[in-house]
Amino acid sequence: MRTSLLIFALSLAFAYKLCVAEDESCLRTDGKSGYWVLKKQCPKILDMLRRRLSGIPFTAEERIYINHSRCPGSNRLVCCEEDVKVIEGIRVLSEQNCGQFGTMKTIGGKEVELMSRPWMVYLTINYNATVSFTCGGTLISNRYVLTAAHCFKNGTLQSVHLGEHNLLTEIDCKQKRGSLICAPKVQVIQNNEVFQHEEYSARTKLNDIALVKLSTDVLFSNSVRPICLPLNETLQQLSKTIDKFFVAGWGELGRYRASNVLTETIVSNLNKTLCDRSYSGIPALGSTQLCAGDIGRDSCSGDSGGPLAYVTHLYNNSQRFVQFGITSYGSPNCGDGHPGVYTNVGNYIRWIAKKIAKIVRWLKILLQENRKQHRNLQLMKNCTSEISECPVHKNGFVCCEDAEEVAKGVDDLNPDECGEFGTSKTIGGREIALMSRPWMTLLYIRDELDNEDFTCGGTLINKRYVLTAAHCFTRKTLLYVRLGEHKISQGRDCTRKRGVETCAPPVEDVEADRVYIHENYSSITGHNDIALIKLSRDVEFKESIGPICLPVNETIQQSVSSMELFHVTGWGKTEVRFASDVPLETVVRRKDIDNCQKSYRRQIIPAQLCAGGLGRDACNGDSGGPLAYVKYLDGRQRFVQFGIVSFGSSNCGDGNPGVYTNVGSYIRWIAYKIATK
């Protein structure tokens, strides 16, 4: 009995010592192993707590389970059986577009086909103010690059280049059957963060792996896509039976002769004892390393951090490139018959997944002042919201929206059907083609004098929500939202083309379940002029009713600064000062904020956009309507809404630009409102 008590006391003391370290392994008091995590991050316990908050008491079994999970001396952490960090990281890595490739005709150190290895990344590293290319890497998600830790032993990462092929040309092109095919412009990203493995050793070469967290999401295209990783044990074990691997990079073609173009060769998977004989001064290779090479076929110094890959069947039984190794080190005489050594990626999937999962990491505290509205208190450095929008509290905490809820909301935006359109021949205030802008909505509103009319526009952004302007509801009441409308005075809209009559489906009038006006909207300054309408039911997408796309990622949001011409659509006032019976569209030119500020006494802020000119503008009746731009998304041209019509000159089209709410600045607000529905 005394022995049992002693063991229990020692285990408790051991647990107490470790439970202060989040993500560390732990031993539950029922003998099961797990990891110390915040309560809200343990799925099983979170489900129990949610049921308890809804009024359902804990069962006896649940009480026992929670007691076994407790962290002595701390109420923050629990010993969770599921390794939630790994689960979350694996989810991010499970990109089904990974590893898709072009032609396989790249054997023996030959140049690869243009855009056929879109995961290849080229890193420039700064050594004492001298920039030189020294390493490669692979894109593994829209935010992370995998490479070798030794690349940063004596230098600092300066920039990451994605979509690169020929280092000497700005735009890479090729001739095929008489046609010139060009790759998109290379994406160059700076101010990135490097995570070297904590146990990397320059002496033993062990744990030679690093992750680069990009400062912004990358936009996938034909030339930029992620490679697949061996996420499951079956794939990880495959590395033991593979005969040949692919090695790619911009390294040396031979001794002292570097390549300007991306090349690829095939190397044999070798027994580790061959590597041990070649590198006697370094400890014998273990399970965390691979050995591969052939005489005349090897990865050279410039390929450090690049992939050792294999083609296997993955998603939908399609062939994909899977990265099994990271180029670590080899002979100084490249291709002399000595094999190369590679970090075994399969042994580091848990490490990669945990690093990626730590993007979304927060400390949840319930605010007692407002029981109905639960928010998170987060350290400023971990806050996923715009700090400027969060009220500051003591001890370095700020009040922010729930990062988990925001992630859920973003998933609900940009359905597959978003932004698809008909003809674009609608420039200069002309009537648009029937059913060509299916996201356009009309808001039927009653004012304080009981007048009722369609006085604002809006855009459908998914099957349940409409985006519009907050000022539409100043001392006014929304009665319903009309979708699928074209000519207001006509019962059913039809058009005749080449003798054939085409009619749109009947319009749909849908009541609003709720209107969300931005909490910081000011009718005086016009700032935060944005609102969301939650419809009383889901709408069914059809040819005349469909959502517009939103700039949900940072890359698209930032691209607005390089755009010149936007489309503005609505049923508003025309040049002759009366409302139009049909939707009109015009093209307006973006104006910089400084020039825009000259036209208005109100302060124009970065969360606003300016556009317009003489005779081309959005007028009063277009309030809440979209300022849009046509972009390529998922390989197709789509309308993306960058602005919401907010306010302008009282003399519509007089040359003063119109002011629009910058939608990109409010994606988190939109996503949070949708997620907390």
* 3-state SS assignment for residue 78: strand
Provide the CA 469 distance to its chain's centre, in angstroms.
Answer: 26
Rounded Cα gap, residues 159 and 443, in angstroms:
48
Question: Catalytic: which of 69, 141, 150, 493?
Answer: 150
* DSSP SS3 for 566: strand
How much is the CA Rg of the chain, to the nearest whole Å? 29
CB 181 within 8 A of CB 174: yes
DSSP per-residue letters across 151-182: GGSS-EEEEEEES--BTT-SS-EEEETTEEEE
CA–CA distance, 632 with 639 (Å, rounded to integer):
9
Dihedral angle of Cα 130, 132, 136, 138, to the nearest 10 degrees = 60
Contacts of 417 (CB under 8 A, 6+ apart): 541, 546, 547
Is the distance from CB of 588 to CB of 612 less than 8 angstroms? yes
Strands of the 25-27 sheet, one edge to the other: 25-27, 33-38, 74-80, 70-71
Query: 242 pairs with which residues across the strands?
Result: none
Burial status of residue 381 (CB atoms within 10 A of its CB: 0-12, 13-18, 19 or more): exposed
Tokens read off for 495: 């058009």
| Helix (H) / strand (E) containing 670 | helix 667-675
Catalytic residue among 141, 259, 299, 304: 304
State the catalytic residue, choosing from 83, 208, 402, 622: 208
Residue pair 223/184 in contact (Cβ under 8 Å)? The answer is yes
150 has catalytic annotation: yes
Q: Which residues pair with 38 in a beta bridge?
A: 77
- Dihedral pair phi/psi, residue 36, rounded to 5°: -75, 120
CA nearest to 291, candidates 323, 263, 321, 325: 325
Distance of alpha carbon 569 from alpha carbon 575, whole angstroms:
14
Q: Which of 33, 46, 45, 40 has its CA nearest to residue 83? A: 33
Strand partners, 179: 176
Q: Per-residue DSSP letters for 298-348?
A: ---GGGTT-EEEEEEE-GGG-EEEEEEEEEEE--SSTTSSPPEEEEEGGGG
For the chain, how many helices (H) and strands (E)?
A: 11, 40
One-letter identity of residue 231:
L
Laid out side by side, the sheet with 512-517 consists of 508-510, 477-483, 440-446, 452-460, 465-468, 531-535, 512-517
Tokens standing for residue 241 = 């039976």
* Continuous H helices in 427-583: 554-558
Name the residues annotated as catalytic. 150, 208, 304
